[in-house]
Each structure stands twice: as C-alpha cells, then as structure tokens.
Amino acid sequence: MRKPRQEMIAETRGKLIAAGRRAFGTIGYAEASMDDFTGEAGLTRGALYHHFGDKRGLLQAVIMEIDAEMTERLNEVSAAASTRWQGFVDECSAYIEMALEPEIQRIMFRDGPAVLGDISQWQNTPGCIAALSRSLDRLKADGEIIDIDTETAARLINGASSHMALWIANAENPEAVSKRAVAGFKAMLGSLRRQ
C-alpha cells in the first residue's frame, strides 16, 4: 500500500459528489438534507464541510462534473457529423436533448443558477458554452455563417434551448410541444447561415 491515503480521500470526495448529485437531481437542492444524503453515502456532514466548505460548495463541484460530461458529449456529437454545419445543428439538438434530462435540467438550469447565480459567469465560460462557441468560430472561419459575435450567438442559443427544454419538459403534451419547439429552434439556427 504505497498511498492508499490519497485514494481514500478521493473516494470520499467522489462519494459526496455522487450522493449530492443524486439528491440535487431528484428532490432538488433546497429539499436535499445534508444529513440524509451524506448518511446514504456512509458519511456525515463533517466530511462535506471539510471538503467543500458548505452545501453550495458541493453544488458547485457537482455542476463542474456535469458540465464536463456535457462538454464531452457535445464534442463527440459535433465530431461525428459529416459537415461542419450539420455538426453544429446536431450539437444544438443534443444540447436541447440534454436539457430535457431531469438531472441536468434541475441542477444545471434550475437550482444551479438560482443558488450560485449565473453559472455561465462564475466560471470562465463553462465548457458547454465554450463548445458551442468553438463550433461557431469554425463555421465563421469557413464563411458558413453570417458575421455575428460568436459568444453572443452561443449564449443566445444556450438561453433559447434551455427555455425550449423547460417548455417541453413541463408541457402537458411533451411530444407535440417538442415538435413545435424544435422546428422553431431550427428556424432560428437557419437564420444564422449565410444566404
């Protein structure tokens, strides 16, 4: 056993993040009792305060983990497409689809911003927005899209898609609303394209 110490620590951190993520993603941040979900992980609030300072610190760690996963997924999607433009459209669709997943919706689009403020700000541009920005930059360099500020466009898309996702997810008839939402969203994307 050379260094089981660091492993144990990392394991504890991982357990806390996993437990918090599960609780935040299901019952929500405000309803999640620290005693409860640390207990489920076989730990106590002591460990949480030691590693993350407070409940918000844990939420931040959870968000960073999810953001990294989303970025990875977006990169995969855009890399798999045959053309740049198609890759971008696919990326945006994937973004909406991710925003439909209850855990992502709750943590990244509801509780996160409410508790920590604008998530896209307290970090130096989070991965999932940066990924959209990069795709737009490439399209712009290729002359495929109109002359627009790419970060602004990325944030417009971010805002629009997350709201579309909320609308769909909370609709009485998600299927029908989804058709309308995606159609409108693609129309908006199309307007970015040159010609």
Partner DNA sequence: AAATAATGCATACGCTCCGTATGTCAATGA
Partner DNA sequence: TCATTGACATACGGAGCGTATGCATTATTT
Interface residues toward a second copy, by CB under 8 A: 30, 110-111, 113-115, 117-118, 120-121, 146, 148-149, 151-153, 155-156, 158-164, 166-167, 169-171, 180-181, 183-185, 187-188, 191-192
Residue 26 is a binding residue for DNA (CB under 7 A): no
Amino acid identity for residue 124 in this structure: N
Tokens of 100: 């439909």
The C-alpha atoms of residue 44 and residue 36 are separated, in whole angstroms, by 9
| Residue 102 binding target from DNA, a second copy, none, CB below 5 to 8 Å by type | none
How far apart are the C-alpha atoms of 177 and 163, rounded to whole Å? 12
Q: How many residues bind DNA (CB under 7 A)?
A: 24
Least separation in angstroms between CB 134 and a second copy: 17
Decide which of DNA, a second copy, none touches 156; Cβ closer than 5 to 8 Å per partner kind. Answer: a second copy
C-alpha closest to that of 44 among 35, 31, 54: 35
By the 8 A CB rule, do 27 and 40 touch? no
* Binding of residue 140 to DNA (CB under 7 A): no
Q: How far is the CB of 115 from DNA (least distance, A)?
A: 11
Taking the C-alpha atoms of residue 52 and residue 58, their distance in angstroms, rounded to an integer, is: 5
Binding to DNA by residue 34, rule CB under 7 A?
Answer: yes
d(CA 124, CA 42): 34
Dig out the tokens for 33 from the structure.
């009792």
Tell me which amino acid residue 17 is: I
Burial classification of residue 133, based on how many CB atoms lie within 10 Å of its CB (0-12 exposed, 13-18 middle, 19 or more buried): buried
By beta-carbon proximity to a second copy, the closer residue of 131 and 153 is 153
Listed in sequence order, the residues at least 6 apart from 103 whose beta carbon sits closer than 8 Å to its beta carbon are: 21, 25, 26, 66
How near is the Cβ of 11 to a second copy at its closest, in Å?
Answer: 31
Is residue 4 a contact point for DNA (CB under 7 A)?
yes
Q: Which of the choices DNA, a second copy, none does residue 35 contact, using the CB cut-off of 5 to 8 A by kind? A: DNA
Q: How far is the CB of 60 from DNA (least distance, A)?
A: 13
Q: Applying CB under 7 A, which residues contact DNA?
A: 3-5, 8-9, 12-13, 32-36, 38, 42-47, 49-51, 54-55
